[in-house]
């Protein structure tokens, strides 16, 4: 195995010692973006970097983290923050609240890349067209392409893919047989057979790239952080929950954080960079008095800097599942369960794909019936119109955030899913799947009218775990960071994670977060 993926320990620096140091850069959050930035910034031996992570060291995560098929159980471990949304009011339950949705996110070195389903895909290039809608400059798909390539070594060898990056990515060489039958069914029903569905240039169905190397998960820690821990200019403190940012005037000069009940602080000579994700980063801003004045006042937090966009624009990919039973036994999973995806348009007049069809080799749990043997076809609106909010209730860093993504509050998202359900049903009824003896269990073959399917869509769904947008990128008054990821109106403070994504791309978001971090490293380096 390549030395970049050799397991190593994560030495955690004593917080007292860290507090005695003055670092050039302090990174807050050791997930995908934080690991990538720590590695890239410390390539310059003259730059001292401290990485703070609220969760555990990589070696203290559950052993099942490394085994790809086990990822669904990780949401029930301490490697997940355990967030849930408020009851969702999407018109599904007249006179009563809708469902509360689990929203898993990683807690520990590697962040969500240590517990996710390991899909590594850019999303179609048209999914980035709205990134400049609030004035952001230099964030089109073509602008991001060099940073996508810098992050990866793509085994496909397809045009536009990276060949020297730390993440070694590629599809399963032998996808599950039932998923191959679904792929044949998609082509049989008129869908395009893509070559590199992960590269951002194609529509259609194909095996998707995965963060799996040698049969093991490759997290951000594995690819970026662990191989560089020997660098003398890099320190890591785990179990360190950021309480608030420290300022002198309008300049951010450090971070106050807690470790095992003790409060510590650390100074940054150049910059503090928030890499705590779409939930963690806005929480830190809000606890520091940076955000919408009214909401801060209601939470009992003194206003330090008014930024109305903090915590706004929260959105995510909901996932609606069609669960099937099969008479033929589905082989046990060897990969991530969801080894093949489709990117399709819900309407032919659209400029690009707005739906993902996810082919899964296990029957997802559902409220209709338990299925021991079968598969799932998931439908997710990739460019959702629905938007929500993140709020805090106090300055207590240990208080859970109030999360309201507003799933399906825009009827256009429901309409897109209905189109995807029709596509999924065509695939399941194809002759390619006939030998498997397929029976739809949820929502069930009798659920055919659009109103009933819309009701199923609004009530029987889950998060695809891609929250973004709470510190959105742009140059207008609702934007939180500018085109160089600097928090607007303040000095010495940037954000470089999924929270800056103004409009979610048409795929799983982890590859895009890596590209944001790669670009942030270049911006910070150029500012030195």
CA distance 117 to 362: 13
Q: b/e for 143-168, b at 16 or more Cβ within 10 A?
A: bbbebbbbbbbbebeeeebbeebbbb
Tokens in use for 116?
A: 């996710």
Strands (DSSP E) along 48-185, which ranges?
A: 49-52, 152-154, 167-169
Q: Which of 134, 264, 324, 466 is catalytic?
A: 466
Q: What is the DSSP letter of 249?
A: T
CA distance 302 to 297: 7
CB 187 within 8 A of CB 206: no
Which of 36, 12, 7, 17 is CA-nearest to residue 510? 36
Which of 526, 524, 402 is CA-nearest to residue 25? 524
CA distance 337 to 334: 8
Q: What is the DSSP letter of 129?
A: G
CA distance 334 to 117: 13
Strands (DSSP E) along 345-478, which ranges?
A: 355-360, 374-381, 389-391, 402-404, 438-442, 461-463
Phi first, then psi: give them for residue 360, nearest 5 degrees.
-125, 135
Which of 222, 263, 224, 189 is CA-nearest to residue 35? 224
- Is 124 one of the annotated active-site residues of the chain? no
Residues with a known catalytic role: 466
């Amino acid at each position: 195995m390549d030395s970049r993926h050799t397991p190593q320990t994560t030495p955690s620096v004593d917080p007292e010692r860290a507090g005695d140091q003055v670092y050039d850069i302090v990174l807050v959050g050791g997930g995908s973006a934080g690991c990538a930035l720590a590695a890239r910034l410390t390539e310059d031996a003259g730059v001292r970097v401290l990485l703070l992570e609220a969760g555990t060291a990589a070696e203290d995560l559950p052993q099942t983290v490394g085994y790809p098929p086990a990822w669904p159980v990780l949401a029930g471990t301490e490697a997940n923050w355990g967030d849930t949304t408020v009851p969702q009011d999407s018109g599904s339950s007249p006179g009563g609240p809708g469902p509360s949705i689990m929203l898993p996110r990683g807690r520990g070195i590697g962040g969500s890349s240590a517990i996710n389903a390991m899909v590594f895909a850019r999303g179609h290039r048209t999914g980035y067209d709205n990134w400049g809608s609030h004035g952001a400059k230099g964030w089109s798909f073509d602008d991001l392409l060099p940073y996508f390539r810098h992050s990866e070594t793509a085994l496909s060898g397809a045009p536009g893919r990276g060949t020297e990056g730390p993440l070694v990515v590629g599809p399963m060489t032998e996808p599950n047989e039932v998923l191959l039958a679904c792929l044949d069914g998609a082509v049989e029903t008129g869908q395009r057979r893509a070559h590199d569905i992960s590269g951002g240039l194609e529509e259609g169905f194909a095996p998707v790239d995965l963060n799996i190397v040698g049969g093991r998960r490759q997290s951000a820690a594995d690819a970026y952080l662990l191989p560089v821990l020997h660098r003398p200019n890099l320190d890591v403190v785990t179990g360190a929950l950021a309480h608030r940012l420290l300022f002198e005037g309008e300049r951010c000069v450090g971070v106050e954080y807690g470790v095992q009940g003790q409060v510590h602080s650390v100074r940054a000579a150049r910059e503090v960079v928030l890499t705590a994700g779409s939930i963690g980063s806005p929480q830190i801003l809000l606890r520091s008095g940076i955000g919408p004045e009214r909401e801060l006042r209601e939470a009992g937090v003194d206003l330090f800097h008014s930024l109305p966009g903090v915590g706004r624009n929260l959105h995510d990919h909901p996932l609606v599942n069609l669960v099937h039973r099969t008479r033929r036994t589905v082989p046990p999973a060897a990969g991530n369960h969801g080894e093949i995806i489709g990117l399709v348009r819900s309407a032919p007049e659209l400029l690009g794909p707005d739906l993902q069809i996810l082919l899964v080799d296990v029957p997802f749990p559902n409220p209709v019936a338990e299925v021991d043997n079968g598969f799932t076809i998931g439908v997710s609106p990739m460019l959702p119109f629905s938007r929500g909010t993140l709020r805090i209730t106090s300055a207590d860093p240990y208080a859970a955030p109030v999360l309201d993504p507003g799933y399906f509050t825009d009827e256009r998202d429901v309409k897109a899913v209905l189109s995807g359900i029709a596509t999924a049903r065509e695939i399941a009824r194809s002759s390619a799947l006939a030998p498997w003896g397929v029976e739809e269990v949820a929502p069930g073959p009798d659920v055919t009218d659009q109103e009933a399917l819309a009701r199923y869509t609004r009530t029987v769904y889950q998060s695809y775990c891609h929250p973004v947008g709470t510190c959105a990128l742009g140059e207008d008054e609702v934007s939180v960071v500018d085109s160089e990821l600097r928090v607007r109106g303040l000095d010495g403070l940037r954000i470089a994670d999924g929270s800056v994504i103004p409009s979610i791309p048409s795929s799983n978001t982890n590859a895009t977060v890596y590209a944001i971090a790669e670009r942030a490293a270049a911006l910070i380096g150029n500012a030195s």
